[in-house]
Amino acid sequence: MDMSQLALGFAAALTPESLFYCFLGAFLGTAIGVLPGIGATATIALLLPITLSLGPLSAIIMLSGIYYGSQYGGSTTAILIRIPGEGSSVVTAIDGYRMAQRGEAGVALATAAIGSVVAGSFATLLIGALALPLSAVALKFGAPEYFALITLGLIASVTLAHGSVPKSLAMVIVGIMLSMVGTDLYTGTRRLTFGERSLADGISFVVISVGIFGLGEVIRTIGAPTDRDLITAKVQGLFPTRAQFRQMAAPILRGTAIGSLLGLLPGAGATLSSFAAYAAEKRFVRGPHKLGHGAIEGVAAPEAANNAAAQTSFIPMLTLGLPANPVMALMIGALVIQGIRPGPNVISANPTLFWGLVASMWIGNLILVVLNLPLIRLWVMLLRIPYRYLAPAIVALCVMGVYGTAFSVAEVWLITGFAAFGYALYRFGFEPAPLLMGFVLGPLLEEQLRRALIISKGSPLIFVERPISAALLALSVLVLAAMMLPRLRRRRATVFQEPEAI
């Protein structure tokens, strides 16, 4: 890690403007993590239009704070009301809520906070350490290698996400097709516009994300059950004992290691990391308070894992331009809106942006601890707000935000259509996240495919003649084939069904 560059990052992150947006992102992230049914993806999608009025560094600091802040906030609802605010906090609800029922809600919340800070700080260190080597490797990639790498990323996002593999694969294809709507930059020919002039410039990333993940999520959540068994007793004992510190130390380290590794993989992210860390702890926890019965290890490990994964997922996004999850796809969209294309040149071309973001993550993790433990009463009050009062405000933000980006009524109609489409996907069991991945990576996939075919004068053999691209494509086929095996499909489904026991 270049210490002079890191000093440059802290200089940028410690300005009043950066500190304000870091605080705002951490606060909003915790709030939407606390409120079940909103989530980081929908919130970031809603705020994309607002980032147009911000500088690139302020925008990315705020959005990233929302993301890792939501991982922290999700544990509050999981512990206090047994309803995870985020998918990554599902397993936290198993032992965290049992601890709260025993009168140990304060210890559970403190454990989640400590695990989040330790894991987040280590993961941020990894970002600074691995970014330069990965960028150097990526600069040596040609068009065939990039095409194969993007293909592997899309396949991994399908196989590591929950839901049916064929349905997820179909969503990726739909996303790629939607990204092709508009005018072909090579030939100037309009494609898939059906004669609509408003589609000549393509479908806006903001329209897709706000429609499916903003309005669509509102429609879906309104029909969800809202019963909440809230722990109403005063939350006390926020400082763990020495024995409890010893109990949580090893799980936090193991969860950090698992989350840091899985966060780098496309499609894995915070949710799968928390499940993997919880499964790993089953091999170590023994005694009367074993996992599932209020063990402190069942809170420490998954909370460390999901926060580590949330932050290491920035590494492939920034250095390779490949999103590891839907939130990172939204981050790419936010940077593209600002005129910045994430990839191997982002560190050299925008050092203040990159190192400022890294420094802000350390600051943000400290803000989360200082901010949230004293505000437990506020979050408990927030949990009492019925979602039916929040929904109209979210809808208004969606409409105003999209209209304000282009002052086009056509785009308002488009988000309405995509909201209905998103709800239909949910009703028929289709996961919309791979669609967003396909939409973001579709133009890059097409561009690298065309470049490779131009280099080879139209011969597709270029993808198998070059060893790196051939190896990546072979790995893509093997991963997809393996996930179609009945035994692996069953194990994959079991991982995401286990927490239903709570």
Provide the residue-wise pLDDT of the chain in tens; the chain has 502 residues.
567 777 888 888 888 998 999 999 888 888 877 765 566 777 787 787 778 788 888 888 998 888 888 877 777 777 776 666 566 676 777 778 788 877 777 788 888 888 888 888 888 888 877 777 777 776 677 888 888 888 887 887 676 555 677 888 888 889 888 888 888 877 778 888 887 777 877 887 778 877 887 777 777 767 655 554 555 445 555 677 788 788 888 888 888 888 888 777 765 566 667 777 887 777 776 655 576 677 888 888 888 888 888 888 888 887 777 777 777 878 888 888 888 877 777 777 788 888 888 888 888 888 887 776 677 667 666 666 666 776 777 777 677 767 766 677 887 888 888 888 888 888 888 877 788 778 877 888 888 888 888 888 888 888 888 888 888 889 888 877 777 666 655 555 554 454 444 4
Q: Is 191 helix (H, G, I), strand (E, B) or coil?
A: strand
396 to 208, 213, 393, 404: CA distances (angstroms): 17, 14, 5, 12
Nearest to 329, CA basis, from 401, 425, 436, 422: 436
Residues 6+ apart with CB under 8 A from 64: 25, 314, 331, 357, 360, 361, 364
Strands (E) across 128-272 are located at 182-183, 190-191
Tokens representing 485?
């095996």
In whole angstroms, what is the distance from residue 152 CA to residue 473 CA? 7
Q: Check: CB of residue 99 under 8 Å from CB of residue 296.
A: yes
The structural domains of the chain, with segments of one domain joined by +, span 3-489
In whole angstroms, what is the distance from residue 17 CA to residue 386 CA? 33
What b/e readout covers 192-228, taking b as 16+ CB neighbours within 10 angstroms? ebeeeeebeebbbbbbbbbbbbbbbbbbbbeeeeeee
Tokens representing 277?
């860390």
Kindly write down the DSSP assignment for every residue of 453-484, as one continuous string. HHHTTT-TTHHHHSHHHHHHHHHHHHHHHHHT
User: What is the model's pLDDT at position 73?
Assistant: 74
- CA atoms 227, 230, 495, 264: torsion sign: positive
User: What is the model's pLDDT at position 20?
Assistant: 92
* DSSP secondary structure code for residue 265 in this structure: S
Kindly write down the DSSP assignment for every residue of 12-51, as one continuous string. HHTSHHHHHHHHHHHHHHHHHHHSTTTHHHHHHHHHTGGG
Q: What's the angle, vertex CA 132, arms to CA 127 and CA 138, rounded to 5?
A: 110
303 to 33, 39, 91, 177, 288: CA distances (angstroms): 13, 16, 9, 37, 22
Neighbouring C-alpha atoms within 13 Å toward the C-beta of 79? 35
DSSP H helical ranges for 238-386: 242-262, 269-281, 297-312, 314-320, 326-337, 346-349, 351-372, 376-382
Q: Check: CB of residue 50 under 8 Å from CB of residue 97.
A: no
Provide the residue type at 154 as one letter.
L
CB atoms within 10 A of CB 118: 22
